[in-house]
Amino acid sequence: MWFLGILIVSLNNEESGAAVRPVVIFSPNYYNIFVHESVTITCNTGPAAEQTQTYYWYKDNKLMHRRSKQSFKIESANDADSGDYQCRTSTGDYSHPVRLDVSYEYLILQRPPSVYEGDPLTLRCHSVTGFPGINTVFYKDGEVIQSSVTDSVLHIDKVDKSVTGTYRCTRQLLHHDDNTYHDYSAESKISVLEKGFPMTIVIGVIIGLLVVVFLISALLIWKRRSKRASSTSIYQGSPPANTTADDTNPSVEENVCYTYLDIRHLPKASASRNVDSSVTYAEVKHPKK
């Protein structure tokens, strides 16, 4: 059961921050931006990060050879900058990949790459440069949850599971010719995540390991009993007086072959003078294996 203790300790250490996995962070903290906008990407390794460690950046599972610092900035994004970004350090593990999308639309609903339970959440109904907007409406699962003439941001102080859903927004955009029209953003699915290891996963892993241990123990016990049952004691003649026919005496070795000779009814010795009648000769033949 020692490995179960190690597993529980390691899970607790990861939840408490002792085992730090790098995290990719965007600034501003949105996974989607417009073309020509800028974004800073950082490999966050926690407060105990070593200043001398080396950083390695990956995009779509390919090493970015020109990126070796903790942070780098995309000054003017284009379609080639869209992809999954991942980092690792010379002393740490790989981060989870984080998606960046560069859009050519007129209106997008901006949201963080990941939404965690207990954290604040900011959604932004964002229109492309040169097309200011008014009358912003936010929808969740097809229902209006907020509308404002001037405010294009939806803020939630503390996220819980009820935030999970499909979101979109609309705005009235002003064109350069002073004409306005309503535009709709693409839908965005938000799933609220638990920080660290969810307890349901921890409990499931422990129960699974207990089941495996039980099955292995049962198999070993069954094999041991089967081996004992196949090992039989071989007796020739009558068993000793202190044993029974079913060999229930625990003092009798199971793998010992006993041979008993009854010399009470031997034939009388010959009258020959050369024969010593005080000696009895017997031949014992072992069966061939």
Q: What is the pLDDT of residues 62-79, one digit of tens each?
A: 999 888 899 999 999 999
Does the residue 109 lie in any domain?
Answer: yes
Count CB neighbours of 37 within 10 A.
Answer: 18
Q: 112 and 178: one domain?
A: yes
Residue numbers of the chain with a pLDDT score lower than 70: 1-19, 48-51, 196-205, 229-289
Domain boundary among 196, 231, 247: 196
Q: What is the pLDDT of residue 2?
A: 40
Domain boundary among 169, 196, 223: 196
Q: What is the pLDDT of residues 99-131, one digit of tens each?
A: 999 999 999 999 999 999 999 999 999 999 989
Does the residue 161 lie in any domain?
Answer: yes
Could you list the residue range(s) of the whole structural domain that residue 126 is in?
Answer: 105-196
Q: What is the pLDDT of residue 219?
A: 83
Q: 41 and 113: one domain?
A: no
Does the residue 72 lie in any domain?
Answer: yes
CATH code for the domain of 174: 2.60.40.10
Q: 91 and 124: one domain?
A: no
Alpha-carbon distances, residue 164 vs 153, 156, 159, 167, 188 (angstroms):
18, 12, 9, 9, 11
How far apart (Å, rounded) are the C-alpha atoms in residues 256 and 233? 7
Domain boundary among 164, 196, 228: 196
Report the domain count for the chain. Answer: 2
Does the residue 202 lie in any domain?
Answer: no
Q: 37 and 77: one domain?
A: yes
Q: What residues contact 271, with CB distance under 8 A and at least 6 apart?
A: none
Q: What is the pLDDT of residue 285?
A: 60
Q: What is the pLDDT of residue 77?
A: 97
| DSSP codes, 236-257 | ESSPPTTS-TT---TTS-TT--
